[in-house]
Amino acid sequence: MPELPDVEGFRRVLAEHTGEPITGVRVRDAGVLRGTTARALDDAVRGRRFEEPRRLGKWLIAPVGGPVLILHFGMTGSLSWHSPDEPPHPHDRVIWSLGDGELRFRDMRKLQGVRLADDERRAERILGDLGPDALEVSRKEFDELLSGRRGRLKSALTDQSLLAGLGNLLADEICWQARISPLRAVPDLDEKDLAALYRTMRRILRESVKVERVPPRDTWLTGARDERDGPCPHCGTTLSRRRVSGRTTVWCRSCQPT
């Protein structure tokens, strides 16, 4: 699931539960801990309170008054609030108890996980390779990022060190709604293309963040892409499908000529 809009949803969950002392951390599967241990995690946060969380791309940054938790949800992670009475889900890997409930980090595939930085400075080091957040970037900055880039548009949009937050679904959705092929070489894009991409990216992110996911509407590519040989919601042409830089890429060869 998690691309920028999903993680923004998780940030909101956490933001609703700042201020209450954390009474304990249960690590049910240490396989999601990255560079830390259950013991270190508990020591670092017990008795402290979550402060205002922030998001950079697909990363959720949760300061607890000194130490900083850094969460990444991979392809299957989530963060949700539960009553302690509710039995844990088999994929609940880490649980923080606070107030009258629990925050649960759930993740089936454990491709990413939970990191702990001792302070903001170290947190920044972990996040240092990320580009600006896709929701925050200005038009000018967007142009600057893409100028000098040589490869395909799809690769550029999903490169987190260039621009943080866009995943496979969002990149394809943006290209499709902007009517530009994801296979186009970035240097071949003209001013009009860049304007369309930026405008479309902003609009799609705004709408997606509202519902905390890329909405699978049938007027969007995301609502149509899962059907094999399905039609383009714009023009009815059979959607094209191919792997581009390691990810399945879906586009319409009629609406998005190469």
Partner DNA sequence: TTGCATGTTCCGGA
Partner DNA sequence: GTCCGGAACATGCA
Q: Can you give the binding site for DNA, defined by CB under 7 A?
A: 1-3, 6, 29, 31, 57-58, 72, 74-75, 90-91, 108-112, 129, 148-152, 155-156, 158, 160, 167-169, 214, 243-248
Question: Does residue 20 have an active-site annotation?
Answer: no
Distance CA 178, CA 200 (A): 6
10 Å CB burial of residue 16 (0-12, 13-18, 19+) is exposed
Task: Kindly state the smallest distance separating residue 32's Cβ from DNA, in Å.
Answer: 9
Q: Name the active-site residue from 11, 58, 106, 184.
A: 58
Buried/exposed 102-126: b ≥16 CB within 10 Å, e otherwise: bbbbbbeeeebbbbbbeeeeebeeb
Identity of the residue, 168 or 256, whose beta carbon is nearer to DNA in the bound complex: 168
Question: Does residue 154 have an active-site annotation?
Answer: no
Identity of the residue, 11 or 152, whose beta carbon is nearer to DNA in the bound complex: 152
CB-based contact 225:214 (threshold 8 Å): no
Distance CA 143, CA 191 (A): 9
Phi, psi of 81 (to 5 degrees): -105, 135
User: Which helix H or strand E contains 153, and what residues bound it?
Assistant: helix 153-157
Identity of the residue, 22 or 189, whose beta carbon is nearer to DNA in the bound complex: 189
Task: Kindly state the smallest distance separating residue 81's Cβ from DNA, in Å.
Answer: 21
Identity of the residue, 45 or 214, whose beta carbon is nearer to DNA in the bound complex: 214
Question: Does residue 192 have an active-site annotation?
Answer: no
Question: Does residue 231 have an active-site annotation?
Answer: no
Q: Name the active-site residue from 12, 26, 247, 253.
A: 247
Catalytic residue numbers read: 2-3, 58, 247
